[in-house]
């Protein structure tokens, strides 16, 4: 029983240390509406060279659900870029210390706005060290830390899957809405054509009988 209590205390201390040292993984998740012909840039600062930088984005609505993007390093060199992409998930190594820019461009659209969900994550290699705890060996601490890291990775995978399904749902909803609008306008046009044909037939019949009466007279 005492061993379980010690393990629980160690777990709580580890979580508390994660909260105290947010530099282990700093992330930013945002939603931005990119107007037509607009170029929107966002920035992230890297404190150490060779850190891992994660960049995820997905177009949720607008036009054909595509957008241009470019990521540049502090020396204004392009790290990754793409044109007319619907979504992307990248991890690259930051070779230089400084400010990295993440830009979205909606130049291809004349009037359509693009709603973009994106996330920028910077992960540092050092980890917070746990304070010594009585009755807990280093192997147990390492095993618990590895289990928590695996759990964090699984939660990140689930979060990415939820974002993917959300993107698919928004796109499918947009397709259904566009199809409903087309059906509505097609039905309206069809009804107008039917009414017009009926009016034309009545006009032709009345004109025919009027001409016939005049001929007999």
User: What confidence tens digit (pLDDT) does each residue in 7-66 have?
Assistant: 444 545 444 444 444 443 444 568 899 998 899 999 999 998 889 898 999 888 888 888
Degrees, nearest 5: CA angle 83-85-89: 115
Kindly tell me the number of DSSP H helices and DSSP E strands found in the chain.
2, 8
Most confident by average pLDDT, 6-10, 72-76, 165-169: 72-76
**Looking at domain 22-127, does it have CATH number 1.10.287.990?**
no
| Strands, E assignment, the chain | 25-34, 39-46, 51-61, 67-72, 78-85, 87-94, 98-105, 114-123
Q: Could you give the strand order of the β-sheet that contains 87-94, starting from the edge strand earlier in sequence?
A: 25-34, 114-123, 51-61, 87-94
What global pTM score does this model have? Answer: 0.59
Reduced to 3 states (helix: H, G, I; strand: E, B; else coil), residue 178 is helix
């Amino acid at each position: 029983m005492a061993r379980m209590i010690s393990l629980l205390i160690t777990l709580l201390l580890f979580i508390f240390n994660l909260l105290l040292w947010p530099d282990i993984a700093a992330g930013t998740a945002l939603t931005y509406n990119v107007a037509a012909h607009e170029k929107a840039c966002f920035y992230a600062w890297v404190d150490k060279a060779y850190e891992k930088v994660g960049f995820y984005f997905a177009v949720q609505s607008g036009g054909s659900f595509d957008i241009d993007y470019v990521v540049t390093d502090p020396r204004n060199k392009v790290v990754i870029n793409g044109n007319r992409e619907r979504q992307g998930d990248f991890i690259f190594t930051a070779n230089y210390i400084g400010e990295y820019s993440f830009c979205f461009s909606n130049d291809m659209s004349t009037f359509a706005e693009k709603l973009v969900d994106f996330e920028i994550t910077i992960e540092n290699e050092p980890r917070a060290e746990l304070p010594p705890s009585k009755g807990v060996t280093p192997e147990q601490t390492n095993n618990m830390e590895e289990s928590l890291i695996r759990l964090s990775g699984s939660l990140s995978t689930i979060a990415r899957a939820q974002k993917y399904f959300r993107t698919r749902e928004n796109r499918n909803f947009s397709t259904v809405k566009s199809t409903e609008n087309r059906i509505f306008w097609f039905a309206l046009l069809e009804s107008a054509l039917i009414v017009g044909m009926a009016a034309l037939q009545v006009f032709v019949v009345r004109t025919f009988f009027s001409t016939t009466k005049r001929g007999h007279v």
